[in-house]
């Protein structure tokens, strides 16, 4: 029997929290807020988002986090607005994805959710790139098993590190460089970061393809995905709400199991 789900979805990353709702079988109003933002802005965003589903049936608050301090702050706000029930991914609800990892490996819930969502929609071998504070390039095989992948510094992290550790390198905001050859210091830094990340993703994808014996579909998400990969032929799909879609898949998988 089909159940009309009404979900508040909260994805807490390293530096930002993404919030959206799921109703009428689709994601609505995904929005991100920096952890450094005033708490009243977080309170307002969560209250407005919860109001979209609070008066409906089958309401659930889904929470995924890779930042324990931010998770605590978000949970306090949710309790203050009486948003419930709160279900934490991988604590209260498993992510429905197979795993081939070393024993005792601690893996970010967001990586598992991204893999689950990507495979649920593609049904084939894929590479999932999450471009945020860190950049992850993960491999999911044709059976939907998550194998892990590679983790590196994200674009903003690279730029901040250069500025902090090299006296003559300026503070630079991340954007696409004007051209590959940087004719000034800022543009040279941007070129290295932009094309360096693209090169890393391409090389890893090619290595994964050799392992798989076939070229995988590449899916990207994360705050910098659009800047990095828009109009880049390697990346076939850019899905900003991929992690949120993974949360929905987790609920649907559990409901199917319970039936």
* Catalytic annotation, pick one of 102, 110, 178, 259: 110
H-state helical runs in the chain: 39-51, 68-80, 109-122, 155-165, 185-212, 225-229, 242-258
Both tokens of 23, joined, read: 């109703």
Q: What is the pLDDT of residues 60-88, one digit of tens each?
A: 999 999 999 999 999 999 999 999 999 99
- Rounded distance, CA 194 to CA 177, Å? 7
Residue 243 confidence (pLDDT): 98
At CA 80, angle to CA 76 and CA 83, rounded to 5? 95
- Rounded distance, CA 63 to CA 94, Å? 12
**6-88 adopts what CATH topology?**
Nucleotidyltransferase; domain 5 (3.30.420)
Let me know: does 62 contact 251? Beta carbons within 8 Å. yes
Task: Output the pTM of the full model.
Answer: 0.94
Residue 24 has pLDDT above 70, yes or no: yes
Q: What is the pLDDT of residues 104-161, one digit of tens each?
A: 899 999 999 999 999 999 999 999 999 999 999 999 999 999 999 999 999 999 999 9
The CATH code that applies to domain 98-245 is: 3.30.420.40
pLDDT confidence of 2, banded at 50, 70, 90?
low
Mean pLDDT across the chain, nearest whole number?
95
- Rounded distance, CA 90 to CA 63, Å? 10
Which is nearest to 149 in space by CA: 231, 89, 212?
A: 212
**226 annotated active-site:** no
- Bridge pairing between strands 6-12 and 16-23: antiparallel
pLDDT confidence of 1, banded at 50, 70, 90?
very low
Task: Enumerate the CATH 3.30.420.40 domain ranges in the chain, comma separated.
Answer: 6-88, 98-245
9 membership: H or E segment, kind and range: strand 6-12
Both tokens of 141, joined, read: 């095989």
Report the chain's terminal Cα–Cα distance, integer Å: 9
């Amino acid at each position: 029997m089909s159940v009309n789900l009404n979900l508040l979805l909260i994805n807490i990353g390293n530096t930002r929290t993404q919030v959206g709702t799921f109703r009428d079988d689709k994601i609505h109003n995904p929005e991100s807020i920096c952890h450094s933002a005033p708490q009243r802005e977080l309170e307002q965003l969560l209250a407005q988002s919860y109001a979209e589903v609070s008066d409906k049936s089958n309401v659930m608050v889904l929470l995924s986090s890779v930042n324990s301090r931010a998770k605590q702050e978000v949970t306090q706000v949710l309790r203050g607005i009486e948003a419930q029930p709160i279900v934490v991914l991988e604590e209260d609800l498993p992510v429905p994805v197979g795993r081939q990892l070393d024993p005792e490996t601690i893996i970010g819930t967001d990586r598992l959710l991204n893999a689950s969502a990507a495979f649920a929609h593609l049904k084939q071998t894929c590479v999932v790139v999450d471009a945020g504070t860190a950049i992850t390039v993960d491999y999911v095989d044709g059976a939907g098993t998550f194998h892990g992948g590679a983790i590196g510094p994200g674009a903003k992290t690279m730029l901040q590190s250069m500025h902090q550790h090299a006296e003559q390198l300026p503070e630079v905001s991340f954007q696409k460089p004007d051209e590959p050859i940087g004719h000034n210091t800022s543009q040279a830094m941007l070129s290295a970061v932009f094309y360096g990340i693209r090169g890393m993703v391409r090389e890893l994808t090619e290595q994964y393809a050799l392992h798989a014996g076939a070229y995988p579909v590449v899916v990207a998400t994360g705050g910098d995905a659009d800047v990095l990969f828009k109009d880049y032929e390697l990346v076939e799909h850019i899905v900003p709400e991929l992690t949120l879609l993974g949360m929905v898949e987790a609920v649907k998988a559990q409901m199917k199991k319970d039936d």
